[in-house]
Amino acid sequence: MLKREYIKVTLVECEQTAREGFAAMINSTFGYHVISTYATCTELMLKVSHEMPHVILIGTDCLNVEDVETACIKNISKIKNLSPRSKIIVFTHTENTDVVFEVLKAGADGYLTKGIPPVKLLEAIQEVYEGGAPLSPAIARSVVASFHKNTSSGLTSREVQVLALLAKGKTYHSIADHLFIDKETVRTHIKNIYYKLEVHSKSEAIEKALYEKII
């Protein structure tokens, strides 16, 4: 019987306690070995071309949504160029569908949300190593649901985000905080939403968006 090759894992996680905990859990399981850990993608990129891990697990909870869209996504592309054979799994609390798509387009091979059982994380590492594309159940549902949505409304992705948050009862202020934009930008988005949907109030906009499966 042939001895199984260890899956070499590199872990990027800004929180030291979490980083050490994940590494200990992975290393305690036969067939997996954490060869290095880093607090940032910048540190990883200095050595990844020499280490060439099979799987890179990147936690992004130190970053807000805007940072994920700018810093983390750019880093994923760079990491792929430096170590093209390495598989990348992004591991985070963020379930924003737009972010998920951007992360996958940047080159990530899987997307998991924190809170999944440890055995599921190990299974995901095994799956991506074998050529799969692991997604947490909630993420998979969001991805599938996005394909069922009406994309012909003329609304931009940001306007859809604002409208979805309005439908959840969020105030202009909380929408601004959630999306890291100012309140006047929120007002502009809502004005554009009303114009494009040909409605005159929040309730009409939400009702039409739900009926036409825009959100």
Give me the pLDDT at residue 54, please: 96
Token pair belonging to 55: 């799987």
Write the single-letter amino acid at 61: D
Q: What is the pLDDT of residue 92?
A: 82
What pLDDT does 77 receive?
A: 87
Question: Which pLDDT belongs to residue 157?
Answer: 82
pLDDT of residue 121: 92
Amino acid letter, 159: E
What residues are paired with 79 via a beta bridge?
none
Residue 172 parent element (H or E): helix 172-179
State which H helix or E strand residue 144 sits in: helix 137-148
Query: Kindly report the CA angle at 176 between 171 and 179, in degrees rounded to 5?
Result: 120
Bridge partners for 176 per DSSP = none
- The helix, strand and coil proportions of the chain, stated in percent and rounded to the nearest 5, come to 55, 15, 30
Residue 158, pLDDT score: 87
pLDDT given for residue 153 in this prediction: 76
Q: Quick one: pLDDT at residue 20? A: 93
Read out DSSP for 83-141?
Answer: STT-EEEEEES---HHHHHHHHHTT-SEEEETTS-HHHHHHHHHHHHTT---B-HHHHH
Residue 203 corresponds to which tokens in the numbers above? 């309730």
- Taking only the tens of pLDDT, the chain with its 215 residues reads 334 578 999 999 988 998 999 999 999 999 999 999 999 888 999 999 999 999 999 987 554 444 554 556 778 889 999 999 999 999 887 777 777 877 888 889 999 988 888 889 999 999 999 999 998 887 777 766 666 566 667 888 889 889 989 998 889 998 988 888 889 999 999 999 999 999 999 999 998 888 888 88
Asked if 9 and 57 touch (Cβ cutoff 8 Å), the reply is yes
**Domains of the chain as residue ranges with CATH:** 7-144 (3.40.50.2300), 150-211 (1.10.10.10)
Paired with 37 in beta bridges are 11
Phi first, then psi, for residue 54 (nearest 5°) are -70, -40
Instruction: Read off the pTM.
Output: 0.66
Q: At what angle do helices 172-179 and 183-197 cross, to 10 degrees?
A: 110
Q: Interior CA angle at 178 toward 107 and 121, to 5°? A: 40
Residues 6+ apart with CB under 8 A from 106: 73, 74, 76, 77, 80
